[in-house]
Structure 1
Amino acid sequence: MPLADTLHSLTPSPGLLLCLVLVISLVESLALVGLLVPGVVLITTAASLAGHQDIALAWLIGAAFLGAIAGDGLSFALGFKHREQVTQRWPLSQHPEWLGRGARFFERYGVSSVFIGRFVGPVRPIIPLVAGMMRMPPRTFIWANITSAALWAPAYILPGYLLGRTWQHHLNLPPGLEAALLILVAIMVVLAVIFSWGRHQATRHGRLYRIIASSIRRLPLLRRPWLAMSQTGDVPLASLLLLVIALGSLSGWTLLVIAHHGPLEMDLFVQDLFTYFQSDVTYLVGNSFARIGDTLGIIALTLPWAVWLLLSKRWDVLLHWGGALIAVALLNIAGKGVFGRPRPDTPDYLMGSFSYPSAHTSTAVVLCGLAAAFIAAELPRHKRFWAYWVALAVTLPMALSRLVVGVHWFSDLVGGALLGLVVCALTLLHWQQQPRASLRPCHWPLLSVASLVLISARVGLLPPV
């Protein structure tokens, strides 16, 4: 069976899609769980697939409506019947600020808080629970639950459904490219779910951390190393897991790439997809991001920050950051020389250079990943995820620009990203061996403007390297 047919066969059936929409709506509205689940992304994706299959819109909105009512209803019942136990159980026992935020919202808006809270992201999964704990009359809650769900369901379903109904007709994608686009979207959704849930679980306040810590303390061989690492604070479990997963994935992916003498079938599908969307505008944007991610671009981005670190005498940050960038550059040179994979297209300025792994991607991952880790350490715990999402938003176009300009295969980008994550993990593990002084105060607006000026000059005035 061709790959396109295989991917198309993986698309859920209409009945399963309706069940998925119901379950996503329920979980997204469920007490506390909704904080860890990217409900908007999941519902939009499911609704888009449903629109593509021409599933009746009334059934889809009905499934979302019922799921939303059930999620809020279960949350209300939990708070109403188990008021004391809820505050003593995970995760509220570890995050009392969540409950405080919901209580303040409830006190401010009263009965209307259930209706309004449905549409306010940070408090949406908390308000029904708080309403139950505050002993809101069940009849009042039911009416607020039903009326808010009646507005919420179409508001969340219609954009994705419209996208699914129109994208194939207006873009007129060939079947193979349609399957490639669907699989790429599915990969991004899965990564979003893993990131949203796993990022918190690997910290000291996450359940995964506590389970692993409890298990290791029972093993004599591992107890002493764990206690030694714990002496400086949290055991860097997130960095350890990142290293293990990234290194294993990089090894397996590299074996897959070198087992093929040419591009993977996935590479050809993605190349066709980017070729289909190619235009003067996309090429200009891609070429600009490609220049931002090359050697001169990285120097332009980091120079103001390096000068600030020098003037602030933060040699530890400068050495870790600089060492990571040098390490990933050397590993890229070695990887390209060992594997010798030809590029899809080799312009004059890349003559003699090979394709795997993507140096642009790995360097962007190291630069933005370490920046996100250092910034997150200075932020309150509940705001740290923003640093990582911003890093992802910057890294992704820098990596994809290599596909736009046609000098890399998609598998090169995957290998480069995994290599960058390995270097990030090793750097962070070394950094976290001892307590570090805060990076504050940091004149980040001035430094950001300086980086923007330098990178604009690099993109507009200097040729690619």
Structure 2
Amino acid sequence: MTELGQAFLLWTEAHPGLALLILFAAAMLDAVFILGVFVPAGLVLFAIGALVALDVVAFWPAVLIAALGGLTGDLLSFALGRRYRERLFESAWLQRRRMLVTRAQQFFQRHGGKGVLMARFLGPLRAVLPAVAGASPMPLWLFLLADGVAAVVWASAYILPGVVFGASLGLAAQVAGRLALLLVLLAALVWGAFALTRLSLQTASDRAERWLGALLDWSRRHRRLGRFGAALADPSQPETPVLALLAILLWALGALTLFLLAAPSLHAYPWPSDAAIFQWLRDLHTPYGIAIATVFLHLGEWPVYTPVAVAMLLTLMVQRRTRATAHWLAALAFGGVLSLGLARVPTVDAPHAYFLLTPPPGYAARDLVLATVIYGLIPVLLSTGRSAHQRTWFYGVASALLVLITVSRLYLGAQWFSHAMVLLVIGLLWTALLGLGFRRHRPSVVRLGATLVPVGLTFLLAATAQWTLDRDLLPAARSVEVRTGFTWTDWQQDGFQQFASQRSDIAGRPKQPLNLQWAGPLPAIREALERSGWTPPPPLASGQVLRWLSDAAAVDTLPVLPQVHAGERQVLMLRHPQDARRQWLLRLWPADARFDDGTPLWVGSLVLQEARSAYLGLMRYPIAIDTANPDPLLRPAAPIIRDVGGLYLLTTVASPEPFHD
């Protein structure tokens, strides 16, 4: 996966013209009548904005090309409306989108010319309103004027967030390319969850009555099995006995599926697809990626979702929503039974146990079922009686949360992909059955503010408490491996060539030079440097990070982002100010080696940094401008320094072999 991501970036850098062509096509198709509803142009513009920040494409050409593409698509839609008038909206193939067309017509009648400007930012209306304007008496010149302005503002509004995001990726690229790629993938998954939710809700709303009618017809034809469907869909029949039986059947289905997929008696090894996905995600591992995943992992654990479930129950009881309370209790009771029952099914060990890795902190193997039920049923209860727009937001947020929880479990090796999908589907099916029963049997409208405030606050407080208890989200640096037969003489003669001369980024891509190799215990190195006037940079706390937004902040007040080499975070970072604008910065990483007497070796870099405005003037950040000769800077801490063609060998201990200065 990392190779594919790197290949895409290299391809974009080599073919910026084709990238802009893709931008034009996406913006144009997004504006074409009806077709634009299904085209994710916003994601493309956002991605191009990130490329702008990374200096792959220029800002204004990208904005103008996106605006031109959007204007071209709008003109095509306008021409369709002008050519076919009302016949365009009365065609048989458009009946499924009739509600959307009606909304666009009403919107245009209410707002007229300024509606063309506004519709550019109103999602599905963007792909319909130009055709409605074409079918109206609106002059072409007025449409071009309004839509041209709207297209430029729209393109800027979608590209600029990508620029800001790309700027942060530019900083993150100094930290780790893997982390940057992970953030891009998470953003794409969250967007995909929202898009799929919107499409699913629209499809369900268009066909729900037809499906329910078919279910009731089937129930009448099959007296025994048909009672399941009738009990859920027919408001006049009791639902509780059938829901209990369906929960048992659902548990049996999930247990059988898990057993067939992962029983050790049937599968001594994980499925090749599971192993491949785990390995792809391992390629994206960095200490900071693990920290981010751990944050989301905690949201799917019982210390967070249990207080949320209790808060939701108490809120429903206070509001005297009897049926909603009953369904919530059923969700918790049977969801807990499903979770505990599936936990008893023997399966292949989770990835972290299978590969003898460090287990994720505080997770439970089958928590995903109950987390899915709780976070899935809340939007069902909240959206009952609400508009389609509100339902989309409720379900979209829940879908994004479940996606992040699931991906974090996969990333940290808490679950195989196939197992997670089974548990997620079982949880969603049980939520859907409860939701169907609730919606079809005298549903009560839950008060929005009175529910969201206590439940949302409980979620935030529980998550904060869990994150606080797990203070050390960043794993400790791994211990270096001992290389046998590695002597001081070997190191001086040619052994130093065994170690990386450049910091490696995603897929081993070389980045900044590593111009130091330092032998000695890390505490002794740190102590010697601090005695010589070296100090740690300001911490990455919120108050300190805000200094990046100041144009006049001194370099010694600006935090410095950590960097990762070969998937490992630095073990030492110290600075030595030169003046208000410049400072020396030293970083060290493990070299995966010890001398035969046990002395560890570290690789590192010494650079001169200057505080400069970067990323369109949005930030002031220390930028490396040159490497440095460590002799005058580090001599007090490392009395023995040897220059080997620009690579400096340092030691703070007396070597048993002659060490030539």
What TM-score do the two structures reach when normalised by structure 2? 0.53
Change (3 A) 1:460 1:450: same
Alpha-carbon offset, residue 395 of structure 1 = 3.6
Q: Is 1:317–2:327 an aligned residue pair?
A: yes
Aligned counterpart in structure 2 of residue 167 of structure 1, from 166, 169, 190: 169
Change (3 A) 1:410 1:184: farther
Change (3 A) 1:464 1:28: same
Alpha-carbon offset, residue 159 of structure 1 = 3.4
Q: Secondary structure, in 3 states, of the residue corresponding to 1:55?
A: coil
Q: Is 1:425–2:429 an aligned residue pair?
A: yes
Per-residue displacement from partner, 1:323-358 (whole Å, max 9, x unpaired)? 4422441255235x42222454348967xx7xxxx5
Whole-angstrom distance in 2 between the partners of 1:453 and 1:116: 34
Q: Secondary structure, in 3 states, of the residue corresponding to 2:446?
A: coil
Per-residue displacement from partner, 1:263-312 (whole Å, max 9, x unpaired)? 93123234x23x13577xx69x928x72x543343332122433566654
Alpha-carbon offset, residue 398 of structure 1 = 5.0
Per-residue displacement from partner, 1:128-161 (whole Å, max 9, x unpaired)? 1221121212232233333332343333334324
Change (3 A) 1:394 1:165: closer
Higher relative contact order (CA 8 A, sep 6+): 1
Change (3 A) 1:451 1:329: same
Q: Which residue of 2 aligns with 1:339?
A: 348
Aligned counterpart in structure 2 of residue 258 of structure 1, from 258, 270, 276: 270
Task: Give the conservation status (yes or no) of the 8 Å contact 1:61–1:154.
Answer: yes
Q: Which residue of 2 aligns with 1:237?
A: none
Whole-angstrom distance in 1 between the partners of 2:137 and 2:39: 27
**Amino acid aligned to 1:369:** G
Q: Which residue of 1 aligns with 2:595?
A: none
Whole-angstrom distance in 1 between the partners of 2:261 and 2:162: 33
Change (3 A) 1:139 1:68: same
Q: Is 1:68–2:70 an aligned residue pair?
A: yes
Alpha-carbon offset, residue 389 of structure 1 = 1.1
Task: Give the conservation status (yes or no) of the 8 Å contact 1:114–1:141.
Answer: yes
Whole-angstrom distance in 2 between the partners of 1:105 and 1:51: 36
Task: Give the conservation status (yes or no) of the 8 Å contact 2:48–2:162.
Answer: yes
Q: Is 1:436–2:434 an aligned residue pair?
A: no
Change (3 A) 1:173 1:327: same
Q: Is 1:295–2:307 an aligned residue pair?
A: no
**Amino acid aligned to 2:394:** A
Q: Which residue of 1 aligns with 2:340?
A: 330
**Amino acid aligned to 2:377:** L
Task: Give the conservation status (yes or no) of the 8 Å contact 1:8–1:179.
Answer: no
Q: Secondary structure, in 3 states, of the residue corresponding to 1:164?
A: helix
Map 1:209-358; keep pairs closer than 5 Å: 232=233, 258-259=270-271, 264-270=278-284, 272-273=285-286, 275-276=287-288, 286=295, 290=298, 293-307=300-314, 312-314=321-323, 317-318=327-328, 320-334=330-344, 337-341=346-350, 342-343=352-353, 344-346=357-359, 358=365
Q: Secondary structure, in 3 states, of the residue corresponding to 2:33?
A: coil
Structure 1 residue runs of 5 or longer lacking an equivalent are 234-242
Change (3 A) 1:48 1:198: farther
Task: Give the conservation status (yes or no) of the 8 Å contact 2:20–2:65.
Answer: yes
Whole-angstrom distance in 2 between the partners of 1:89 and 1:96: 10
Whole-angstrom distance in 2 between the partners of 1:348 and 1:82: 62
Map 1:116-127; keep pairs closer than 5 Å: 116-121=118-123, 123-127=125-129
Whole-angstrom distance in 1 between the partners of 2:313 and 2:101: 41
Alpha-carbon offset, residue 72 of structure 1 = 0.8
Q: Secondary structure, in 3 states, of the residue corresponding to 1:439?
A: coil
Name which of structure 1's ranges 324-333 and 302-311 shifts more when overlaid on structure 2: 302-311
Change (3 A) 1:397 1:22: same
Aligned counterpart in structure 1 of residue 23 of structure 2, from 15, 21, 25: 21
Whole-angstrom distance in 2 between the partners of 1:176 and 1:252: 35
Alpha-carbon offset, residue 64 of structure 1 = 1.0
Higher strand share: 2
Whole-angstrom distance in 2 between the partners of 1:348 and 1:169: 28
Alpha-carbon offset, residue 22 of structure 1 = 1.5
Q: Which residue of 2 aligns with 1:238?
A: none
**Amino acid aligned to 2:440:** R
Alpha-carbon offset, residue 59 of structure 1 = 4.2
Change (3 A) 1:110 1:170: same
Whole-angstrom distance in 1 between the partners of 2:154 and 2:464: 46
Whichever of the two has the greater Rg, that structure is 2
Alpha-carbon offset, residue 167 of structure 1 = 1.8
Aligned counterpart in structure 1 of residue 379 of structure 2, from 372, 386, 394: 372
Whole-angstrom distance in 2 between the partners of 1:441 and 1:176: 45
Alpha-carbon offset, residue 79 of structure 1 = 1.7
Task: Give the conservation status (yes or no) of the 8 Å contact 1:360–1:398.
Answer: no
How many equivalent residue pairs? 429
Q: Which residue of 2 aligns with 1:44?
A: 46
Task: Give the conservation status (yes or no) of the 8 Å contact 2:373–2:431.
Answer: no
Whole-angstrom distance in 1 between the partners of 2:173 and 2:413: 23
Alpha-carbon offset, residue 49 of structure 1 = 4.3
Change (3 A) 1:438 1:129: farther
Whole-angstrom distance in 2 between the partners of 1:443 and 1:62: 46
**Amino acid aligned to 2:7:** S
Change (3 A) 1:362 1:129: same
Whole-angstrom distance in 2 between the partners of 1:200 and 1:327: 32
How large is the RMSD of aligned CA atoms in angstroms? Answer: 4.8
Per-residue displacement from partner, 1:8-35 (whole Å, max 9, x unpaired)? 2245643442232112212322334444
Structure 2 residue runs of 5 or longer lacking an equivalent are 235-249, 471-661
Map 1:36-115; keep pairs closer than 5 Å: 36-49=38-51, 52=54, 54-89=56-91, 93-115=95-117
Change (3 A) 1:196 1:75: same
**Amino acid aligned to 1:71:** G
